[in-house]
Structures are given as C-alpha cells and as structure tokens.
Amino acid sequence: RGGRSVIQFVERIAKDHGIRRVPPTAIASKPVVNAFYQTDPKAYVPCLQATVDLVDSGPAARAAHARAWKERRVRDVLSSPVSRAFELCIPPALREIDRPDVRAQVRSLMNQPRVTIAVLPLASLAERDGILDGLEAAGYEIAGPDWK
C-alpha cells in the first residue's frame, strides 16, 4: 500500500479504473461529541475490563486476531478479545445515535449497472441481519469467507 490509508488506497483503485465514487452519508459530529461527554463514567467499566483482559491475554491474543483476519476467519475475528474490547469501548450513548442506513445505501448501489466497491467495518457486514444477510436474502450470491 505504500504508506497510504485504506481510503487513499481504495480511492486510487477507483480512479485508476474509472469507477465513480459515491461518498457515504456523514454523521454529524456534535451529537457524537455530546454523547461521548454525557455518558456516565460507569458506562466505561466494561471497556476498561475488556482492555485489561486484552492486555492480560498478552501478545498471543493480538497475534491470533491478526492471524484470523489474514486467514479470513470472520467469526474468529469478531469473537476475539481485540474486537470485544473495541466494541465495548464505544460509549453506549454513541451506539444509539442515528447512523445513516448503510444497508439501504448498499442495496441502492447494488441496483446500479456498474462495479461497486464498498469499504465497511467487518461487524456491520457480518452481524446477524447485517448487510451480507440482507443481500443474501435479496437473492445475491455472496462469494467470500463464511460470515455466519
């Protein structure tokens, strides 16, 4: 990748192949910041515990997470202590903020007669009733690692 961010990498590939970029819907930052600062400090206890557990598990847990990612073992990635700590460290109030309906955006793009590249968090793709489940239910063939 040459030191570029994932976004820069994908944008370069899209540009090189003449693929039109459809920017994602943005989330307003003020509600995010407000939710972060208005969250009761006790809500962060699970995050701290998961972080301590991750540190206690040593480098082996992080290496196992990286290996699972490399080997495309989606369930192992999502159930790892690394993913657990990441998920638990998102403030509860922040999880409840209205986020753009990425599923509707993906469905809309899939109906276009062109190549579609989407870069999304693994959990949003593989979660129960997530994007991949929705596409599969709509009759699309999903090629790639097993996410269920």
Residue pair 90/36 in contact by the 8 Å Cβ criterion? no
Among candidates 130, 50, 131, 47, which has minimal Cα distance to 94? Answer: 47
Tens digit of pLDDT for each residue in 118-142?
777 788 888 888 888 888 998 888 8
For position 71, what pLDDT does the model report? 93
For position 3, what pLDDT does the model report? 66
Distance CA 39, CA 35 (A): 6
For position 60, what pLDDT does the model report? 92
For position 129, what pLDDT does the model report? 83
Phi-psi region of 146 (alpha: psi -120 to 50; beta: other; left: phi over 0): beta
Side chain identity at 40, as an amino acid letter? Answer: D
Tens digit of pLDDT for each residue in 16-54?
888 777 666 666 678 778 877 888 888 889 999 999 999
For position 99, what pLDDT does the model report? 58
Q: How many CB atoms lie within 10 A of CB 32?
A: 14
Instruction: Check whether 68 has a pLDDT greater than 90.
Output: yes
Tens digit of pLDDT for each residue in 73-113?
999 999 999 998 888 887 766 666 555 667 777 778 778 77
Residue pair 118/106 in contact by the 8 Å Cβ criterion? yes
For position 96, what pLDDT does the model report? 60
Q: What is the 3-state secondary structure (H, E, C) of 100-134?
A: CCHHHHHHHHHCCCCCCCCCCCHHHHHCCCCHHHH
Instruction: Check whether 57 has a pLDDT greater than 70.
Output: yes
